[in-house]
Amino acid sequence: MCGIVGYIGKRSAQEVLLAGLERLEYRGYDSAGVAIHTETGLCVQKAKGRISVLQNVLGKSPLKGTIGIGHTRWATHGKPSDANAHPHTDNDCAISVVHNGIIENYMELKQQLIAQGATFSSETDTEVIAHLIASVYTGDLVAAVRNAVSHIRGAFALAVLAAQQPDQLVVVRMHSPLVIGIGHGEYVIASDIPAILPYTREVCVLEDGDVVVLSYDAMKLMDVQGSTIERAPLHIDWDVATAEKNGFEHFMLKEMHEQPNAYRETMRTRMHDGRIVLTELDAFVAVLPKIGRIHIVACGTAYHAGLIGQKLIERIAGIPVEVDVASEYRYREPIIDAHTWVIVVSQSGETADTLAALREAKRRGARVLAITNVVASSVAREADDVLLTMAGPEIAVASTKAYTTMVVVFQLLSLWLAQERKIVLRSECEDWWRALEQLPVHAQHVLQQAPKWHAIAQKISLHDHVFFIGRGLDYAVAQEGSLKLKEISYIHSEAYAAGELKHGTLALISEGVPVIALATQADVCEKMLSNIIEVQARGAYVIGIGAPQLRGIVDEYIDIPQTIDAFSSALSVIPLQFVAYYAACIRGNDVDKPRNLAKSVTVE
């Protein structure tokens, strides 16, 4: 997730690009840069850090010109640094490129380009694109771009300039967002609509495979083969605040809707030819045979993802796992030896308790894997190995897409461990593989049902206490659902292992008390049904999620698409997120910034 912008028109390109980058800063802020055609040629200026750092540099030595491209980076390939900042160029600075997305075959392309004489100055996948375009460029930028993208696999939105063609800007979209604002005698391109709104409300939303050539007086839309495409622009009525949320009322709502795509991004480069490929763990493979147990350590929602990880790793890879809340872990004198692998999980990578637990684990000699959403975070820097969740920046305090992508990473990791330990049957592998591939589509299907859950939230919002029950993986999901509800709706809620209720908590169930029951696990489904009947007998109003057998028994039934039981959590949690969201809205709460909470908890 990065933000790209581009401009061609009569204004100062530098001003338009910097203003656009500010509006896209939510997409990443590891570094920023611009390339502008000036009187002295195509000039690039870039700097590590937030956009304000680049603004200072350009404030002192401005780049004067009316056509340019810009980028704000969310690091994936290569740490945040000046060298890894975009725009990237070929060796002669003939081509300048900004990119949002991931080039899957960049290593292969890089080797070919090096063999042809290219030298690389960054660790990014993007630099490959600049060299590739330059290698086929013969004075026609759009022809060179079309040729180059036919060799690229992956997701990309690109904006490209050629030093020899100072009156042309070429853009391409493939699986990463890109829009073009059509003004009077000017065009603004951007990853997202807010960057365009100060200049125009007429927008052309690009589709996969679109290539566009922009000059000072014309815009030409075509496909990768060069055939012209006609598409009427859209008129955008949103104000800027709404546009930043992509038309959604809250960041949380936007982020819940981003989950199918986030699942795709998390899996994209990690599933090849029937195998899970975690190149990030290449160095760890030699250590794996020594690992006898795993400790998973995290806080809050990330801890709940860890609970899912525990069950998946034990069930699929057969390694014993303990899960701890980070603030407890370091003080319980954990037994760590050379056979212990410690996995810390943190969206922000900055949570003080998790970081302290990581340091404690390392002090005691453990090898540490970080599962995080932020590549250059403290946790990522201090861990031995890192698996990124690829959710993109999460703004709402209540974690949604970061949690579900952590779950997807644990699904991938458990299969990878089983694969490396050679303990899975080929037939089982195929089922798991298919289930993983279908997850984004299934998640989309779940999201389409969301409006139906408003009525459930309406009923729940009238209560002071809500209970969540489940068994096994469903109990872990119940804990996350309960946290989501309490943190944004301020309704008191508790999650219980369904079988445990009768050992005390059942006393709290009385007429009309809402109980949300998850039943996605076939092996304990009958037992769950008994637990549901037990609470109904005490008057509970039961919302059931999962097994079709619940239909007709519970008061409200939420269906989720059929998948293998082990992977159902990435789907069953989505209705719980929505119930919490709607309940918070109905109660008039500040959904994105709930009281007393912060997105990143950097104190112990």
Find out whether 397 and 268 touch, Cβ atoms under 8 Å.
no
Buried b (16+ CB within 10 A) or exposed e, 509-538: beeebbbbbbbbbeebbeebbebbebbbee
484 counts as catalytic: no
Q: Which of 200, 399, 404, 520: binder of ligand M6R (CB under 6 A)?
A: 399
Which residue among 220, 527, 593, 599 is the active-site one?
599
Residue 174 binds ligand M6R (CB under 6 A):
no
Nearer to ligand M6R, 54 or 380 (CB): 380
What is the smallest separation between the CB atom of 596 and ligand M6R, expressed in angstroms? Answer: 12
What is the smallest separation between the CB atom of 119 and ligand M6R, expressed in angstroms? Answer: 38
Size of the site for ligand M6R (CB under 6 A): 15
Nearer to ligand M6R, 167 or 604 (CB): 604
Nearer to ligand M6R, 191 or 354 (CB): 354
User: Which residue do the tokens 């070429």 mark?
Assistant: 170
81 CB neighbour count, 10 Å cutoff: 18
Q: Which of 397, 417, 450, 571: binder of ligand M6R (CB under 6 A)?
A: 397
Pairing outcome for strands 187-190 and 179-182: antiparallel
Nearer to ligand M6R, 521 or 577 (CB): 577
Nearer to ligand M6R, 305 or 457 (CB): 305
Find out whether 80 and 88 touch, Cβ atoms under 8 Å.
no
204 counts as catalytic: no
Nearer to ligand M6R, 165 or 346 (CB): 346
What is the smallest separation between the CB atom of 493 and ligand M6R, expressed in angstroms? Answer: 13
**CA-to-CA distance for 413 and 129, rounded, in angstroms?**
30
Nearer to ligand M6R, 427 or 596 (CB): 596
**CA-to-CA distance for 185 and 130, rounded, in angstroms?**
28
Residue span 470-499 as binding mask against ligand M6R, x where in contact by CB under 6 A, dash where not:
-----------------x------------
Q: For residue 405, give the nearest of 300, 307, 262 by alpha carbon.
A: 262
Structure tokens at 224: 């990768």
Q: Which of residues 406-465 bind ligand M6R (CB under 6 A)?
A: none
SS3 (DSSP) at 426: helix
Nearer to ligand M6R, 122 or 351 (CB): 351
Helix then strand then coil, % of the chain, to nearest 5: 40, 25, 35
**CA-to-CA distance for 257 and 394, rounded, in angstroms?**
12
Interface stretch with ligand M6R, choices 72-80, 135-143, 297-305, 500-508 (CB under 6 A): 297-305
**CA-to-CA distance for 191 and 314, rounded, in angstroms?**
41
Q: Which of 81, 347, 405, 419: binder of ligand M6R (CB under 6 A)?
A: 347
∠ Cα 488 494 499 (to 5°): 150
Interface stretch with ligand M6R, choices 96-104, 125-133, 397-405, 497-505 (CB under 6 A): 397-405
What is the smallest separation between the CB atom of 413 and ligand M6R, expressed in angstroms? Answer: 17
Structure tokens at 378: 């403290």
C-alpha to C-alpha distances, 263 to 102, 443, 575, nearest whole angstrom: 14, 9, 17
Q: Which of 149, 189, 369, 398: binder of ligand M6R (CB under 6 A)?
A: 398
User: Which residue do the tokens 């036919």 mark?
Assistant: 150
Residue 252 binds ligand M6R (CB under 6 A):
no
Interface stretch with ligand M6R, choices 16-24, 232-240, 280-288, 296-304 (CB under 6 A): 296-304
**CA-to-CA distance for 558 and 449, rounded, in angstroms?**
9
What is the smallest separation between the CB atom of 226 and ligand M6R, expressed in angstroms? Answer: 46
Residue 301 binds ligand M6R (CB under 6 A):
yes
SS3 (DSSP) at 537: helix
Looking at residue 549, the DSSP 8-state letter turns out to be G
Which residue among 2, 43, 204, 525 is the active-site one?
2
Interface stretch with ligand M6R, choices 245-253, 264-272, 347-355, 543-551 (CB under 6 A): 347-355
Residue 346 binds ligand M6R (CB under 6 A):
yes
Q: For residue 468, give the nearest of 477, 456, 455, 459 by alpha carbon.
A: 477
Structure tokens at 459: 């009923």
Q: Which of 67, 193, 299, 545: binder of ligand M6R (CB under 6 A)?
A: 299
What is the smallest separation between the CB atom of 603 and ligand M6R, expressed in angstroms? Answer: 11
Structure tokens at 458: 């309406």
- Residue positions counted in the chain: 604
C-alpha to C-alpha distances, 121 to 88, 89, 126, 131, 132, nearest whole angstrom: 9, 9, 11, 11, 14
Q: Which of residues 349-388 bind ligand M6R (CB under 6 A)?
A: 351, 354
Find out whether 37 and 68 touch, Cβ atoms under 8 Å.
yes
Interface stretch with ligand M6R, choices 87-95, 150-158, 395-403, 515-523 (CB under 6 A): 395-403
* Residue with the shortest CB distance to ligand M6R: 300
Interface stretch with ligand M6R, choices 39-47, 155-163, 295-303, 461-469 (CB under 6 A): 295-303
Most distant pair of Cα atoms in the chain: their distance:
81
Q: Which of 67, 302, 308, 412: binder of ligand M6R (CB under 6 A)?
A: 302
Nearer to ligand M6R, 36 or 299 (CB): 299
**CA-to-CA distance for 168 and 186, rounded, in angstroms?**
12
Residue 577 binds ligand M6R (CB under 6 A):
no
* Run of H or E including 486: helix 473-489
**CA-to-CA distance for 397 and 559, rounded, in angstroms?**
27
Interface stretch with ligand M6R, choices 242-250, 341-349, 385-393, 429-437 (CB under 6 A): 341-349
* Cis upstream peptide for 87 (omega within 30°): yes
Interface stretch with ligand M6R, choices 70-78, 171-179, 346-354, 489-497 (CB under 6 A): 346-354
Nearer to ligand M6R, 302 or 466 (CB): 302
**CA-to-CA distance for 268 and 230, rounded, in angstroms?**
31
Nearer to ligand M6R, 281 or 406 (CB): 406
CA 271, distance to chain mean position in Å, is 17
Active-site residue list: 2, 599
Q: Which residues of the chain form contacts with ligand M6R (CB under 6 A)?
A: 299-302, 346-348, 351, 354, 397-399, 487, 600-601
